Structure 1
């Protein structure tokens, strides 16, 4: 039985070697799959990085454009503010006080019409005294305004 014991032992060793070979083969298969997954993940990351770089460039360009627009608007507002201050300073110098204003007579419509007729007569337009000033207006190019209905 010595031969059969040696044969049984050899078979056990062969089975153990085959088990280790199978385990190594499975490990290698999992590693290859993991490498494939890692490679796919790496490609996805590179695609994401490229997309994010483009988006960042666009955001930076938009930010720069907004900063330029803000600076221009700020400059324009400052210019308008300066102009308004100048206008206010000029009008303050010419404003009539409320006491002086009460003594100023406001002309009536009739007084303005009489004055208009007097000015027209002095310019030789007395023939048009029976028409209103808007009827005597002449449009650019010599056309007369439309007749009133």
Structure 2
């Protein structure tokens, strides 16, 4: 009988070890799934950041161009007003 008890004990320990291994595998798979989700979110955030940076650069370029045009229009208006004053003063 002691051999049978030893065999039963060994089988029980084997099943417990298999159960622990299955749990460890399940936890590992879940962590990998979560890591993949996080990686995908990081890629989306980086893509959004790159798109927003490009849009910001374009907006800054347009704002600078509008400033230049505004200065030129202002300069021309001043010139036109001075010309009109000169004509009216004659």
TM-score category (smaller protein)? 0.7 to 0.9
Task: Describe how 1:34-113 pairs up with structure 2 within 5 A.
Answer: 34-88=34-88, 90=89
Corresponding position of 1:98: none
After superposition, give the CA deviation of every residue in 1:111-143 in whole Å (9 maximum; x if it has no partner): xxxxxxxxxxxxxxxxxxxxxxxxxxxxxxxxx
Corresponding position of 2:14: 14
The runs of 5 or more residues in structure 1 that have no matched partner are 92-149
**Structure whose alpha-carbon radius of gyration is higher:** 1
User: In 1, Cα distance between the equivalents of 2:30 and 2:62?
Assistant: 47
Higher relative contact order (CA 8 A, sep 6+): 1
TM-score with structure 1 setting the length? 0.51
Calculate the aligned-residue CA RMSD, in Å.
2.0
Greater per-residue helix proportion: 2
User: In 1, Cα distance between the equivalents of 2:16 and 2:81?
Assistant: 93
Shift of 1:69: 1.0
